[in-house]
Copies of this chain bind each other. A is one copy, B any other.
Amino acid sequence: MIDVAGLRVMKAIADEGSFTGAAVALGYSQPAVSQMVRRLEQRAGTALVDRVGRTVRLTEAGQTLARRAGEVLSAIDAAEEEVAAIAGLRAGRVRIAAFPSASATLVPKALALVKQRYPEVAVTFTEAEPPESLAALRAGDCDLAIAFAYEGTDVGRGEEDLDVFSTRHLLDDEVLLALPTGHPLASVGVVDIDQLRDATWIAGCPRCRGHLLSMCRSADFSPDVAFETEDYVAVAGLVAAGLGVALIPDLIVRTAHHPGVVTTRVRPASKRQIVAVTTPDLERVPAVAATLDALCEVAHSSELAPTFPAPELDYYL
């Protein structure tokens, strides 16, 4: 029944003392104010202004409306400003869920960039493996999930989610072979997977283990997996102790050196794609978009650019 324009008009009349004054104050024409008042009056069921001669006064109902208009308009302005602040990156929040090795490098750099550009935007961060992070995204518990997919497989959940989510490629993370220092293959440069059909394997997280199996299957053998652990420091320890070899993504290798481990490339080369996942709607939230951009920038920056093909360096876990 009451609309904001009407309140604005009543307040302007109260402030200016005339229809014409209210009109110029609001940027309207005078007849607009005149018939707006008439509309308001017939909706209200009572006179709101008392025109005697050519002076205009508010009636009791009109004064009431004008008085109330103040609080309503300021409340609306506050709401408008609050939303504008979020839209204008002067406020807001982005909740990120990322898997551990992304948490170590990619995410911190990106968040630093966001914080530098938009100091008022709060970014919160949760560590979660891809299946859970996507579940969190779906459940509304986070805004952005950093996930990974080994080549040929999907990101995490059933394929049905690939279209409802909006996925942005960040970088390709090559999968390397981790060998104990001094291992005969350590100096070859590129190791053919077939050379490892009799090796003892140490597997990482379930999906990494799946990838190992699929690689070996391509080479027509089944790996002897003797250890399984989600903790990559433990993997490195096991490799260094000479208990087996392991496939470890490049990104993890860079986060922590382990003096007893050497990495080399593997043939056939395989990599995992690291992606940022969100929903189409959240992608239209400026803070989320800004964070996505920052992630892309960091991913493509030289610091995080894939070191292969530039294989002269060894990477320690």
Minimum CB–CB distance from A255 to chain B (whole Å) comes to 31
Interface size class of A (residues with CB under 8 A): 35 or more
Interface check A86, CB cutoff 8 A: yes
Query: What DSSP secondary structure best describes chain A's contact surface?
Result: helix
CB < 8 Å neighbour of A64 from B2, B7, B82: B82
Contacting residues of chain A (260-315) with chain B, CB-CB under 8 angstroms: 279, 281-286
Instruction: Please name all residues of chain B whose beta carbon is closer than 8 Å to the beta carbon of A68 when the two chains form the complex.
Output: 75-76, 78-79, 82
CA A122 to CA B49, docked complex, whole Å: 19
Interface check A57, CB cutoff 8 A: yes
CA A1 to CA B78, docked complex, whole Å: 12
Interface check A256, CB cutoff 8 A: no
CA A283 to CA B41, docked complex, whole Å: 13
Question: How many chain copies?
Answer: 2
Q: Are A92 and B60 in contact, with the CB atoms below 8 A?
A: yes
Interface check A234, CB cutoff 8 A: no
Interface check A222, CB cutoff 8 A: no
Q: Are B46 and A65 in contact, with the CB atoms below 8 A?
A: no
Minimum CB–CB distance from A94 to chain B (whole Å) comes to 9
CA A84 to CA B1, docked complex, whole Å: 11
CA A69 to CA B88, docked complex, whole Å: 20
Interface check A220, CB cutoff 8 A: no
Minimum CB–CB distance from A136 to chain B (whole Å) comes to 11
Q: Are B47 and A284 in contact, with the CB atoms below 8 A?
A: yes
Residue of A3, A44, A45, A61 contacting most chain B CB atoms (<10 Å): A61
Contacting residues of chain A (85-99) with chain B, CB-CB under 8 angstroms: 86-88, 92-93
Interface check A27, CB cutoff 8 A: no
Interface check A53, CB cutoff 8 A: yes
Some 15 contacts from A to B, beta carbons below 8 A apart, are: A3-B3, A41-B284, A45-B84, A45-B88, A46-B285, A47-B281, A52-B137, A52-B279, A52-B281, A60-B285, A61-B86, A61-B87, A64-B86, A72-B72, A72-B76
